[in-house]
Amino acid sequence: MAYIGATPTVGNFQVCDAISVVNGQAAYTLQVGGVNVTPESANHMLVSLNGILQKPGSSFTISGSTMTFASNLATGDVIDFVQILGNVLDIGQPSDDTVKTASIQANAVTGAKLNTDIISAQTALTSAPDDTDELLISDAGTLKRIDFSLLKSTPGLNLISTTNITSGTSNVDITSGIDSTYTKYMVSVINLHPSDTGGETLRFAIFTGTGGSQAVDNNSGNYRNSMIGFRNDRTSEINHTNNGADQFLGFSQGIGDQSFNANIFLINPSETTFNKIFHGDFAQVDGSGRIAHGIFGCRYLQTSAVTGIRFSMSSGNIDNAIIKLYGLS
């Protein structure tokens, strides 16, 4: 007879070892070749007592390898034979690709059945995941998927661009990367050195517009700023402008022959209802050789979206600098 899948296992008929000692008890151990055996049930057995077949369930029962008669046997009773009629049908191992999802009970596959290399054996990413890449998470015990884009915005600095200046440059323009992606941006000015060390100050102005209409705003009256700082000789400086054409950074004595460093923060650059606010801090060696540190704030008196920033010196060029643009998430 042909079968779909594995052929059922049948038969395995066994005659139990003779039970020669009947000593007035009801329970007896079943063995084959001196080894305990366990029938599937009483219905899978033939038991003859004193030449009479016994009815399974009422005349005797089975628990493990113990057969128990309905009452204690008397001395002289003879257990003629006990035969086990084989096992319950066993379909064996299903053929490959024959078990469907609907055949697996819900929640039947537990962690104990998962291979320990279920993750480590997979192909490793060699770069940061794409925004649309999906991951599995447990949400209060319920397994869910989530896009990487919803996970990557963890608090921190996200580097957008790096500009390296190694020779005299009059204007350093950052004209891409500032948009609506973040509500706060940071521009980090690192080891800036001017070509003229006679006391020039670093300035910045902003770009508005996009594409062919993007332009720097150097209109007088569009910038207001203030700063306060301290020098190592215990002197201090408070400075401000009310109607400037750009924003100055640093002390009025300008930058000396050492480097200038600053962090500039821009808030909501793409918002078009309110004026834009910049703030930050800086450290420098001034034109008199003093180490100086200060903080500043700047208000751009227009509501246009900011799309870029330009750095320049009050006179001369920038001959060395690293300028990094970050988005803050």
Give mean pLDDT in consecutive 10-residue pieces for the chain, a chain of 329 residues: 56 84 88 91 92 94 94 90 76 73 82 80 84 86 84 76 94 94 95 84 90 88 91 88 81 80 94 93 86 92 94 91 93
- Residues 163 and 295 grouped into a single domain: yes
Burial-class residue 2 by CB neighbours within 10 Å (0-12, 13-18, 19+).
exposed
- Residues 288 and 175 grouped into a single domain: yes
Kindly state whether residue 290 falls inside one of the protein's structural domains.
yes
* Cα three-residue angle 156-160-166, rounded to 5 degrees: 120
Kindly state whether residue 32 falls inside one of the protein's structural domains.
yes
- Residues 228, 240: Cα–Cα separation, whole Å: 9
- Residues 209 and 78 grouped into a single domain: no
b/e 116-126 (16+ beta carbons within 10 angstroms → b): eeeeeeeeeee
Encoded amino acid at 216, one letter: V
- Residues 8, 108: Cα–Cα separation, whole Å: 24
- Residues 162, 178: Cα–Cα separation, whole Å: 13
Structure confidence at residue 27 (pLDDT) = 93
Q: What is the CATH number of the domain that holds 204?
A: 2.60.120
Domain residues for the domain of 266 are 157-328
- Residues 161 and 79 grouped into a single domain: no
Tokens, residue 222:
């569009």
- Residues 76 and 199 grouped into a single domain: no
Show Cβ contacts of residue 267 under 8 Å, excluding neighbours closer than 6 positions.
183, 184, 276, 277, 278, 279
Kindly state whether residue 320 falls inside one of the protein's structural domains.
yes
Structure confidence at residue 89 (pLDDT) = 56
β-sheet bridge partners, residue 320 = 193
- Residues 168 and 284 grouped into a single domain: yes
- Residues 70 and 185 grouped into a single domain: no
Element (H, E) at 211: none
In the listed set 84, 113, 145, which residue is the last one of a domain according to the structure?
A: 84
- Residues 280, 248: Cα–Cα separation, whole Å: 12
Q: In the chain, how many domains are there?
A: 2
Cα 285 to chain center, whole Å? 43
Kindly state whether residue 140 falls inside one of the protein's structural domains.
no
Structure confidence at residue 93 (pLDDT) = 66
Kindly state whether residue 5 falls inside one of the protein's structural domains.
no
β-sheet bridge partners, residue 128 = none
- Residues 51 and 162 grouped into a single domain: no
In the listed set 55, 84, 113, which residue is the last one of a domain according to the structure?
A: 84
Distances 275 to 20, 118, 302 between C-alpha atoms, Å: 106, 53, 5
Kindly state whether residue 124 falls inside one of the protein's structural domains.
no
- Residues 72 and 177 grouped into a single domain: no
DSSP conformational letter for 87: P
3-class DSSP assignment, residue 264:
strand
In the listed set 84, 102, 125, which residue is the last one of a domain according to the structure?
A: 84
Kindly state whether residue 131 falls inside one of the protein's structural domains.
no
Structure confidence at residue 154 (pLDDT) = 56
User: pTM score, two decimals?
Assistant: 0.55
Kindly state whether residue 279 falls inside one of the protein's structural domains.
yes
- Residues 165 and 252 grouped into a single domain: yes
- Residues 179 and 58 grouped into a single domain: no
Structure confidence at residue 176 (pLDDT) = 94
- Residues 77 and 163 grouped into a single domain: no
